């Protein structure tokens, strides 16, 4: 079976687009983590606990440092908070720019996963882009044709 290789132009466009996408994903993930680090922690009251199979979702209400009262839904990832019931209090961490929208449990480190995956994508697409854009090697002289 003879498989056709993708064209050089297709590989150049695909790899360049992938590299730009991976760099943008890394930048957005890094900015998001930095914004969450600039935010602060608050004590939140669990208003509703919802079990969906092995996952637990909480609806919490808390007050930010600026006095905003926020209500948010978050997924429980810290083992200590899996047994939280309605009315219990937990510590949450909210972002500085959108405190009511971007809320996580205190101690949740899942934000690093996106940055790690994005960094691996940047490295992969950088290698593919280099291979697609480099000049092809010239063929060996005929005097070396029969050598191993």
In a domain, 124, yes or no: yes
Q: How far is CA 27 from CA 61, 63, 86, 116, 118, in A?
A: 30, 29, 37, 12, 9
Q: What is the model's pTM?
A: 0.69
In a domain, 51, yes or no: yes
The total number of structural domains that make up the chain:
1
In a domain, 2, yes or no: no
In a domain, 147, yes or no: no
Question: Which domain covers residue 95, as residue numbers?
Answer: 8-130
Which residues are registered as beta bridge partners of 49?
58
The CA distance from 100 to 86, in Å, is 20
- Note the pLDDT of residue 84: 83
- Note the pLDDT of residue 1: 62
Instruction: For residue 79, give the nearest of 104, 56, 60, 50 by alpha carbon.
Output: 56
- Note the pLDDT of residue 16: 96
Q: What is the pLDDT along the chain (148 residues), one digit of tens a residue?
A: 678 888 889 999 999 999 999 999 999 988 988 888 888 889 999 998 888 888 888 899 999 888 889 998 988 887 777 778 888 899 898 888 888 888 888 877 777 888 899 999 999 999 999 999 998 888 777 776 777 6
In a domain, 95, yes or no: yes
The CA distance from 145 to 122, in Å, is 38
In a domain, 148, yes or no: no
User: Rounded to the nearest 10 degrees, what angle do helices 111-133 and 8-38 cross at?
Assistant: 150
Q: In what order do the strands lie in the sheet with 103-105?
A: 69-75, 55-63, 40-52, 89-94, 103-105
In a domain, 57, yes or no: yes
Kind plus residue range of the DSSP H or E element containing 72: strand 69-75
In a domain, 3, yes or no: no
């Amino acid at each position: 079976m003879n498989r056709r290789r993708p064209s050089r132009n297709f590989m150049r466009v695909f790899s360049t687009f992938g590299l730009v996408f991976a760099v943008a994903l890394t930048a957005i993930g890094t900015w998001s983590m930095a914004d969450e680090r600039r935010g602060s922690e608050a004590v939140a009251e669990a208003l509703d606990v919802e079990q969906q199979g092995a996952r637990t979702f909480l609806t919490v209400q808390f007050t930010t440092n600026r006095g905003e009262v926020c209500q948010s839904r978050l997924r429980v990832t810290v083992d200590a908070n899996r047994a939280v019931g309605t009315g219990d209090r937990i510590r949450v961490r909210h972002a500085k720019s959108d405190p009511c929208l971007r809320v996580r449990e205190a101690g949740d480190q899942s934000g690093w996963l996106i940055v790690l995956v994005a960094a691996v994508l940047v490295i992969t697409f950088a290698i593919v882009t280099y291979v697609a854009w480099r000049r092809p090697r010239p063929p060996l002289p005929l005097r070396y044709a029969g050598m191993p």
